């Protein structure tokens, strides 16, 4: 696709941008431009362009507003010490976006157009990519998404679709200074996704589905909810916006295997690779929630952490449920392994060590 830059603007003054980049938070501020590409069933992909960031004009009958035919991705642009800007495994996100599109009956955007769209946006909004900063994880979060923009009320795949990319300078997802442990709530009333459903796709509906469980967790003083498999309520799936790893004292590092209802995180896959480099033994298998409680009790469990593009690697403290709780942090060590994985990952992403896996793409 040929992209045209139709409107170049400095929506935000340089001084205001500097203020935002110094303390970006997560998801509250947006760069000056956005990418947009249109699709219809006759012309295919067309009108690829970069324009000023701003609202969509959407017909009230646009299918996405009624039937949630929508998918998205989450990626980051990292500024290296020499000023160059890079992203991490974009082809993995492009492939997942294509799988999500197929599951949601949306058109597939070719990988090269997906990657090009990121390059086009970062080319005009490079000034929005922060330095790594104090917390060491500031970046420009990139959010590609696609939705049914055709106006009609029948239930069928839309014949008009819009793809867009917006960018948001980002610090730590869980805020605060330094890496703090989060507490998790086991949601038993709610599941995030079921067998044959859309759990393996990155679609907005899954995130909407996680919110009630998340609210339960917050009411119980937790930061996130852990969702279990919907049919037996016994196996760990994910947190709704992050994957989970359990680290055992004997060096095993275990994450739930992909069952179709769990999102295949790019950070998750990368950690499975990095774990081997760090001399750990990664395992993907079904993990009963009882195993977590028992291993915390017996002292075999060393650490638990959440991971994702937004969350990077975030240690978990307490696990709570209706009527109980457990905490594996007996010897006060929360994130020795998680910390090592986190810094290894960030060192690769910020170009501080050699990218031996070939994971970086220059934007």
Q: Which two tokens stand for residue 237?
A: 């799936």
Q: Are 99 and 126 in contact (CB under 8 A)?
A: no
**181/301 with CB nearer ligand COI:** 181
CB of 190 to ligand COI, least distance (A): 17
Least distance in Å: CB of 87 to ligand COI?
12
**Nearest distance from residue 143's CB to ligand COI, in Å?**
8
Give, as one character, the DSSP assignment of residue 228. E
Please say which residue, 49 or 240, places its beta carbon nearer to ligand COI: 240
Min. distance of Cβ 46 from ligand COI in angstroms? 27
- Based on CB atoms, which residue is closest to ligand COI, 7 or 264? 264
Nearest residue (CB) to ligand COI, 49 versus 217 = 217
Q: Report which DSSP code applies to 201.
A: S
Q: If 0-12 CB within 10 Å is exposed, 13-18 middle and 19+ buried, where does residue 262 land?
A: buried
Give 116 or 139: the residue with its C-beta nearer to ligand COI.
139
C-alpha span between 339 and 112 (Å, rounded): 34
Residue at shortest CB range from ligand COI: 74
The Cα–Cα gap between 235 and 347 comes to 33
Footprint of ligand COI (CB under 6 A):
74, 241, 308-310
What one-character DSSP code corresponds to residue 234?
A: -
Half-sphere exposure of 251 toward its Cβ, with a 13 Å CA cutoff? 7
Q: Considering the complex, state which of residue 199 and residue 308 has its C-beta at the smaller distance from ligand COI.
A: 308
Q: How far is the CB of 288 from ligand COI (least distance, A)?
A: 25
Q: Nearest approach, Cβ of 30 to ligand COI (angstroms)?
A: 14
Q: What are phi and psi of 208, to 5 degrees?
A: -60, -40
Residue 239 structure tokens: 């947190």
Question: Measured from the CB atom, is 310 or 346 closer to ligand COI?
Answer: 310
Angstrom CA distances, 156 to 59, 104, 275, stand at: 17, 11, 43
Least CB distance from residue 51 to ligand COI, whole Å? 24
Token code pair at residue 9: 């603007």
**Dihedral angle, C-alpha 171, 340, 266, 221, nearest 10 °:** -60
Angle between helices 90-103 and 266-277 (to 10 degrees): 140
């Amino acid at each position: 696709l040929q992209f045209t830059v139709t409107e170049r603007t400095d929506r935000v003054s340089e001084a205001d941008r500097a203020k935002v980049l110094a303390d970006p938070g997560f998801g509250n501020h947006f760069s000056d431009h956005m990418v947009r590409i249109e699709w219809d069933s006759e012309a295919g992909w067309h009108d690829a362009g970069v324009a000023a960031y701003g609202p969509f004009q959407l017909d009230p009958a646009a299918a996405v507003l009624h039937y949630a035919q929508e998918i998205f991705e989450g990626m980051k642009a990292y500024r290296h010490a020499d000023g160059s800007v890079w992203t991490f495994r974009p082809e993995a996100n492009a492939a997942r976006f294509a799988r999500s599109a197929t599951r949601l009956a949306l058109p597939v955007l070719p990988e090269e157009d997906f990657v090009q769209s990121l390059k086009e946006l970062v080319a005009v909004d490079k000034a929005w990519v922060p330095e790594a900063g104090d917390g060491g994880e500031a970046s420009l979060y990139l959010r590609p998404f696609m939705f049914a923009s055709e106006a009609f009320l029948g239930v069928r795949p839309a014949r008009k679709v819009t793809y867009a990319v917006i960018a948001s300078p980002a610090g730590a997802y869980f805020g605060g200074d330094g890496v703090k442990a989060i507490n998790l709530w086991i949601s038993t009333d709610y599941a995030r996704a079921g067998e044959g459903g859309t759990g393996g796709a990155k679609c907005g509906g899954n995130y909407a589905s996680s919110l009630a469980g998340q609210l339960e967790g917050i009411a119980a003083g937790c930061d996130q909810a852990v969702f279990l498999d919907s049919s037996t309520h016994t196996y760990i799936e994910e947190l709704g916006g992050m994957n989970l790893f359990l680290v055992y004292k004997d060096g095993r590092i275990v994450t739930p295997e992909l069952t179709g209802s769990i999102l295949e995180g790019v950070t998750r896959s990368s950690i499975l690779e990095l774990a081997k480099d760090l001399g750990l033994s990664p395992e993907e298998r079904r993990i009963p929630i009882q195993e977590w409680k028992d291993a915390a009790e017996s002292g075999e469990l060393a650490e638990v952490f959440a991971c994702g593009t937004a969350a990077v690697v975030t240690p978990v403290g307490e696990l709570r449920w209706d009527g109980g709780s457990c905490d594996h942090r007996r010897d006060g060590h929360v994130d020795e392994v998680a910390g090592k994985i986190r810094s290894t990952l960030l060192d690769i992403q910020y170009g501080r060590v050699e990218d031996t896996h070939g994971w970086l793409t220059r934007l």
